[in-house]
Structure 1
Amino acid sequence: MAAGFLLCVAWYFTILAGFYILYCPVIYLMFLNYKLYRTIVDSLFALWELYPVALFQCCFNTHLHHSGDYVDPDESTIIIINHRTRVDWNYVWMALYHATQQPEKCICKEKVNGKQHRTERGLLDVGGKSKTKFVLKEEIKNIPGMGWIMQLNYCLYVKRAWQEDQLGLFQFVDYYSRMRYPCRIVLFPEGTDLSEDNRRKSHKFAAVNNLPKYEFVLHPRTKGWAALCSSLRSNLTSIYDVTVAYDTPAQTEADLLRNKIPKHVYFHFKRYSIDNLPLEEEHLKTWLNERWSEKEVNLKKFHTDGNFTDLSSNKSCADREPRALHAAKLAFIFWTLVDILFMYLLIYSAVFQFWVIYNCLLFVSVTWYLGGFHNIQYKLLQKNKTKH
């Protein structure tokens, strides 16, 4: 129990420390130079993504097993993943860290629309030019620290009601398209985790719609996926179909608190060139359903044989060599120093205490009255583009 509690405290405390010390001072840059603001905020987040890698692997002895394709850290892509547990996204950072260990081996260096997608990296291109963005439930933006950082990172929030989500999707796509900003968009098409209750709901949905019953995945929600892929298609290089499995999954955050921490986490990556995906949205929906049918088969084999299978050749997939943890360890030291500074200032500085209270009130107000800082960023970009 103590170990799980310490893991959750360290994870969340570092988010709060980084938010108040590093993110909050940068907020005002969005009104002066939105491109520089976008670069700095996303670089900070990319630097933080290294922290849970070291936290889970070095401090709690979690072993990440990666098989399949490597991931190019510079390409614009959508990463679709089965949602095994509520805490999957903690392990996505670990998976991407190891999957991008040898970008020179990627199979993804082809030209897109006649242009080479690779560009020279700058000093702030931490982890690659393409920054990670999540498709998140609307409620997450209200969580102090974590949700507020996701607002500044301009992730895509959904209410799972298409009439309301269309506008948010349009603004998200328009924002990054106008900026010509490469992103790796992480999407869990199932919309929720594979709990027993959600599995029963999926079975009912399958029975009503004459679909097969799945035991290892849920039937994906295809409408949002098809709209997102179609809207971003001209800027995308690829789609990564990722399958995740655990030895002993922590279904919820409470499981982590109770020290039910997986020791072995398995990710299988399969890359598809965007040129090989269908154009019509209805066909994109079919394509996604086919991938999920394959996941069900692959996960069934995994839980029998202990490893993933290349379904095209029916051969077992060997694990890739894990990436060295040097970068993650350095990031862990950096964020630990930020934690110490945050604690010191919180205890001994009245000015910093006021800073914390001020920013709490600021984010609560902006979230309540304006929907979040991501909406402000979009309006600022519109205003600047209109002027030019």
Structure 2
Amino acid sequence: MIVFVRFNSSHGFPVEVGSDSSILQLKEAVAQRQGVPADQLRVIFAGRELSNDLTLQNCDLAQQSIVHIVESPQKNSQDKEKTEYSCVGGVPKALKREPESLTRIDLSTSILPSVSAGLAVILDPGKNSVSLPSEKSGAASYNSFYVFCKNFCQAVKPGKLRVRCSVCKQGTLTLARGPSCWDDVLIPNRIGGVCQSQGCNGNVAEFYFKCGAHPTTDSETSVALNLVTTNSRCITCITCTDIRSPVLVFQCVHRHVICLDCFHLYCVTMLNDRQFIHDPELGYSLSCVEIFTWLWFLADTASLVHSLFQHFPSSVTAVQAGCPDSLIKELHHFRILGEEQYNRYQHYGAEECVLQMGGVLCPTPGCGAGLLPEPDLRRIVCEPGNGIGCGSVFCRECKEEFHEGECNSLLSPPGAMAQKGYVVDEHAAMQARWEEASRETIKKTTKPCPNCNIPVEKNGCLLNFVSEGILLLSQQIMDIVGFLKSQFICHLLICYIFIVSGLIINFMQLFTLILWPINKQLFRKINCRLAYCISSQMVMLLEWWSGTDCTLYTDPESYHKYGKENAIVILNHNFEIDFLCGWNFCERFGVLGSSKVLAKKELSYMPIIGWMWYFLEIVFCKRKWEEDRKTVVQKLLNLRDYPEDFWFLIHCEGTRFTEQKHQISMKVAEAKGLPKLKYHLLPRTKGFAVTVQCLRNVVSAVYDSTLNFRNNENPTLLGVLNGKKYHADLYVRRIPLEDVPEDEQECSIWLHKLYQEKDAFQEEYYRTGTYPAVPTIPPRRPWTLLNWLFWALLLLYPLFQLLINMINSGSSLTLASFAFVIIIASVGVRWMIGVTEINKGSTYGNNDNKQKQK
């Protein structure tokens, strides 16, 4: 199994250990890696220090868990007692208890006391903690906490309770005592501890929750739902009488239980009827379900509900009052509604707040903006701005168009505004909007009955018939599009546009040379834009033509820095289109035009791409370090005053991965006493070390990037041209450049360790199909497609005109010449594609090549 270690609060690295390994063995593995004695290391996980004799299973360390290991000596345990009284809300010594791992704490007893009825029987009397997991599982099998994961899952999921120091925000704090109730977790500063990080004197615990359904980073937190728990004793739902799990427990005296589906429907119903209860401290919330709500949920058809509420309208209003003292205090529970309904809930609260403050709502249908005019102001203007307001002017009293004199009475004919369809008062305006929202909700979740036209179940036969017809039509369209993408004529047109536009741009770049002695920075900015016009056509093929999905796995904090700083990007070199995925990464964050690479000298002679790189001041090398060093250093130093944000892409392996090259590389690793790599070649450190030295204080970070393709796909540039869709996963770690050693030898050691980590990430990906980070898909920008369409419209029209003129001329020689040009262009494009193919790649790193040179 893989455990991710944060050593002395630095960036994490993976450690591969057996699931039955002890903490001592984990320490020894980290000690060997970091070059420190194992007896000086201390392992901290979930608020406590783990002793050497414990196994990873007993510590509930699951796959991809993050542990903190510190080298500092243990701080004085007497400080723990002091922190209990220095914290706000400290508890007396009599209530202290020995700290335990947060993975074994069950706070349900504070929500479900054993003396209460209802769901309290889920817990055995006197049960203080959940039983230990079985030895076979390797991790805890119980779900004591539930959270709403708003980033990835967007649903209620089992959660994990974690703790960190409130000062340094690291998980190196050991608790003085474990939390005994939900208030200990939700209310800040109630529990103290001792932070074991060097230089940190923090003594206050800060609890947070993480989603347990997928790998998470330290910074990714989820919202705790303290009223949601596991229905382990099979208590029936108060509304539908089904047995579900998990369930929500109202904090009324009876501890009524409701399943999450019924709670969702209950909230939507109350939201549509605008019957949320206002509390001065909490805001707008709901109480326990009242007996009359049972009729709503027990109705077998929508017609029964309609007839019931038509004859007994009071039963609907009776839902307002539930069990006494049962309001939901944590409003995060209403996130169970989903994003759309939760936004409606927030809008509802804002509107109600405006009305209670003496404001008015714009009576224009579709607007309803909240306005806060002066109390004695009669002429109200709905000022447009910031996307709010429609500009209408109306009377505060009658909600008609503004007029002088008295307003029309209720018996008078409707005014001009009412005749235009405007509403009379706030209640009507709000009711119209909410009824429309209700109709939209019903429309999405039901279909009309063919006989009575009443909304019934969505999965009816008519809907299935229509859906199947639409799916069949769309499938036929996709088949036709796929057939066209694979046709040779389409490939010729794409290559024609790329070659002709590329040569035109190369010619334009040649003319920009006159700017170099006059204004070097202007020369660079222009060439960045011109280079984008070429490279974006390649990215267009990947993004739009083949429709390849590129999922980015990274830290959310690092994500916001991408594209806003200079960086060195380390890429693995295993696939034929890994350079194209690297360009796609640059494009999504707006640095494609200014991206740099360390490329072999032969590529500089390639038309279009190679010539474009020459004007971009790309660093070319002959792969003979004695000859390259001076040139590389000079080229890199020239980039220090580059006017655009740039990413410097580098393949430290020097050549693309093949089995033959890998065997030779591992022989070199064995001779040098270096750990063998399974999925990478041995990195060549000199080029990277010089790059770091030359670009230090210009580049902010190193982006360690590891690329893989799902389902063991073997992507090719020819496959992309044929419109084949691939699924790429890119894992990016942002490492500040300050963490990279300046000394060349130390930098070399650092890079070898980095590639050992990359190898572990590859191993984990092949085993699980995922990376230990948050997956996200950066938004696709339209500029690559628009650029290609511009060149297509510009170049295809004269081509078709030329073809028509040649056909009309009837000259065999002209047609033969045109066919010859087409053949030459096809051969040229096939040669350019062949440069990317693995079996036709360079022989650099092969034994055969070395023997030939000898």
Q: How high is the TM-score relative to the length of structure 1? A: 0.72
Identify which of 702, 707, 714 aligns with 1:239: 702
| Aligned residue type for 2:571 | I
CA distance in 2, matches of 1:36, 1:235: 20
| Aligned residue type for 1:186 | L
Indicate the SS of the match to 1:268. Answer: strand
Identify which of 251, 266, 270 aligns with 2:733: 270
2:538 maps to what in 1? 52
State yes or no: 1:304 paired with 2:762: no
How far 1:180 moved relative to its partner? 5.6
How far 1:14 moved relative to its partner? 4.2
Tell me which protein shows more helix as a share of its residues: 1
Closer, same or farther in 2 for the Cα pair 1:9/1:187, shift >3 Å?
Answer: farther
Conservation of the 8 A alpha-carbon contact between 1:97 and 1:323: no
2:793 maps to what in 1? 337
Identify which of 105, 114, 131 aligns with 2:594: 131
1:151 maps to what in 2? 614
Indicate the SS of the match to 1:211. Answer: coil
Identify which of 580, 585, 590 aligns with 1:90: 580
How far 1:29 moved relative to its partner? 2.4
Indicate the SS of the match to 1:239. Answer: strand
Taking only the aligned residue pairs, the percentage that are identical comes to 23
The unaligned stretches of length 5 or more in structure 1 are: 101-126, 310-316, 349-388
Conservation of the 8 A alpha-carbon contact between 2:572 and 2:651: yes
CA distance in 2, matches of 1:90, 1:129: 11
| Aligned residue type for 2:512 | L
State yes or no: 1:29 paired with 2:519: no
CA distance in 2, matches of 1:299, 1:323: 26
2:647 maps to what in 1? 184
How far 1:194 moved relative to its partner? 1.4
Tell me which of the two structures has the higher relative contact order, counting C-alpha pairs closer than 8 angstroms and 6 or more residues apart.
1
Closer, same or farther in 2 for the Cα pair 1:305/1:8, shift >3 Å?
Answer: farther
How far 1:321 moved relative to its partner? 3.3
How far 1:268 moved relative to its partner? 1.0
2:747 maps to what in 1? 284
> Can you list the C-alpha shifts for 1:204-258, whole angstroms capped at 9, x where unaligned?
222222222222111111011001111111211111111111134547656767x
Indicate the SS of the match to 2:627. Answer: helix
Conservation of the 8 A alpha-carbon contact between 1:8 and 1:256: no
Q: Which has the larger radius of gyration?
A: 2
Conservation of the 8 A alpha-carbon contact between 2:537 and 2:784: yes
| Aligned residue type for 1:329 | L
CA distance in 1, matches of 2:549, 2:791: 22
Conservation of the 8 A alpha-carbon contact between 1:242 and 1:269: yes
How far 1:325 moved relative to its partner? 4.0
How far 1:128 moved relative to its partner? 5.1
1:78 maps to what in 2? 568
CA distance in 2, matches of 1:291, 1:7: 43
Indicate the SS of the match to 2:775. Answer: coil
Conservation of the 8 A alpha-carbon contact between 2:545 and 2:723: no
> Can you list the C-alpha shifts for 1:102-153, whole angstroms capped at 9, x where unaligned?
xxxxxxxxxxxxxxxxxxxxxxxxx359820111111111112221111122
State yes or no: 1:42 paired with 2:42: no
Indicate the SS of the match to 2:750. Answer: helix
CA distance in 1, matches of 2:622, 2:798: 34
1:380 maps to what in 2? none
> Can you list the C-alpha shifts for 1:68-101, whole angstroms capped at 9, x where unaligned?
0425323221111111124311111222334x3x
Report the more deviating stretch, 325-334 or 5-14. 5-14
How far 1:188 moved relative to its partner? 0.6
The unaligned stretches of length 5 or more in structure 2 are: 1-482, 806-854
Closer, same or farther in 2 for the Cα pair 1:10/1:76, shift >3 Å?
Answer: farther
CA distance in 1, matches of 2:541, 2:717: 16
State yes or no: 1:17 paired with 2:488: no
Closer, same or farther in 2 for the Cα pair 1:137/1:308, shift >3 Å?
Answer: same
| Aligned residue type for 1:25 | M
State yes or no: 1:320 paired with 2:776: yes
Conservation of the 8 A alpha-carbon contact between 1:156 and 1:172: yes
CA distance in 2, matches of 1:4, 1:66: 32
Closer, same or farther in 2 for the Cα pair 1:255/1:217, shift >3 Å?
Answer: farther
How far 1:170 moved relative to its partner? 2.1
Conservation of the 8 A alpha-carbon contact between 1:23 and 1:41: no
Written as runs of structure 1 = structure 2, the 5 A alignment for 1:211-250 is 211-247=674-710, 248-250=712-714
Closer, same or farther in 2 for the Cα pair 1:12/1:158, shift >3 Å?
Answer: farther
| Aligned residue type for 2:581 | Y
CA distance in 1, matches of 2:780, 2:682: 36
Closer, same or farther in 2 for the Cα pair 1:232/1:3, shift >3 Å?
Answer: same
CA distance in 2, matches of 1:23, 1:159: 23
Conservation of the 8 A alpha-carbon contact between 1:82 and 1:243: yes
| Aligned residue type for 2:532 | A
> Can you list the C-alpha shifts for 1:159-178, whole angstroms capped at 9, x where unaligned?
11111111221221232225
| Aligned residue type for 2:567 | T
2:360 maps to what in 1? none
CA distance in 1, matches of 2:494, 2:759: 32
| Aligned residue type for 1:278 | P
Indicate the SS of the match to 2:530. Answer: helix
How far 1:51 moved relative to its partner? 2.8
Conservation of the 8 A alpha-carbon contact between 1:249 and 1:262: no
> Can you list the C-alpha shifts for 1:356-379, whole angstroms capped at 9, x where unaligned?
xxxxxxxxxxxxxxxxxxxxxxxx
CA distance in 1, matches of 2:573, 2:494: 21
| Aligned residue type for 1:96 | C
CA distance in 1, matches of 2:489, 2:748: 42
CA distance in 2, matches of 1:343, 1:87: 30
How far 1:64 moved relative to its partner? 0.8
Indicate the SS of the match to 1:198. Answer: helix
How far 1:301 moved relative to its partner? 0.7
CA distance in 1, matches of 2:799, 2:524: 27
RMSD: 3.2
> Can you list the C-alpha shifts for 1:24-75, whole angstroms capped at 9, x where unaligned?
1232222234332221111122344433333223221211111104253232
Conservation of the 8 A alpha-carbon contact between 1:76 and 1:238: yes
* Number of aligned residues: 316
Q: How high is the TM-score relative to the length of structure 2? A: 0.34
> Can you list the C-alpha shifts for 1:267-325, whole angstroms capped at 9, x where unaligned?
1111112222222111111111111111100111101111112xxxxxxx231134134
> Can you list the C-alpha shifts for 1:313-351, whole angstroms capped at 9, x where unaligned?
xxxx23113413433332332243354368579989xxx
| Aligned residue type for 2:506 | Y
Conservation of the 8 A alpha-carbon contact between 2:546 and 2:723: no
